[in-house]
Copies of this chain bind each other. A is one copy, B any other.
Amino acid sequence: MSGNTDRRVRRTRQAIQRALVELILEKGYEPVTVTDLINRADVGRSTFYAHFADKQAVLFANLDEVAFLHPAPSADGPLFGFSLAMFEHVQEQRRLVRALLGRRGGQMVIAHGEQLLQAVIRDELLARGGRAGASLDLVVTCAVGAFMALVRKWVDGEIDATPAELDAAFHTTITPGARALLARA
């Protein structure tokens, strides 16, 4: 048994989740209706509501499959060493990430991603001796904003670059400032 449920359940849920990704890539998240979803997934209306409360629940179900944002806070290695791995991960799952985090994706997902990333960056700065406080949080916000901006533009095709190039740009821009903050502590 893969999963622990009825095969029909697995099939249905997967069909719906797949359909959402396809439709987001075609029209963006907001315009997608539940009716679209059940047509594309070829599933009965009542079946849909037996599995998901609404459109957004499907979105979040997909979200779990792209939760590549949980590196341990590291005090050694290069500062913000996590970023290259993340860019590479995004590239592998480009299709899914594009649907979820791109301009056509849902706002909630971006907010969720920002929160995860915020924790990662904050923990890393603290692990390297940053002093908790308002000014550290402001720097964290800047770093999160910069990273997410790169990812969004990248998956939307507004930027053509390799993961290594993105990583380099992120470090060029953010690392000196972050070091300055740490040195001040």
Q: Which residues of A pack against B, CB within 8 Å?
A: 30, 103, 107, 111, 114, 134-135, 137-139, 141-150, 153, 159-161, 165-166, 168-170, 172-181
Given contact pairs A139-B173, A141-B149, enumerate 16 new A-B contacts (beta carbons under 8 Å): A30-B30, A135-B165, A135-B169, A138-B169, A138-B173, A139-B172, A141-B153, A142-B170, A145-B145, A145-B149, A146-B146, A148-B149, A172-B181, A173-B177, A174-B174, A176-B180
Interface centre among A145, A153, A180 (most CB of B within 10 A): A145
- Chain B proximity of A16: nearest CB distance (Å): 22
CA distance A7 to B47 in the complex (A): 54
- What DSSP secondary structure best describes chain A's contact surface? helix
Q: Oligomeric state, in number of copies? A: 2
Of chain B, the residue at the smallest CB distance from A170 is B142
Known A-B contacts A147-B145, A161-B134; A169 and B139 likewise in contact (beta carbons under 8 Å): yes
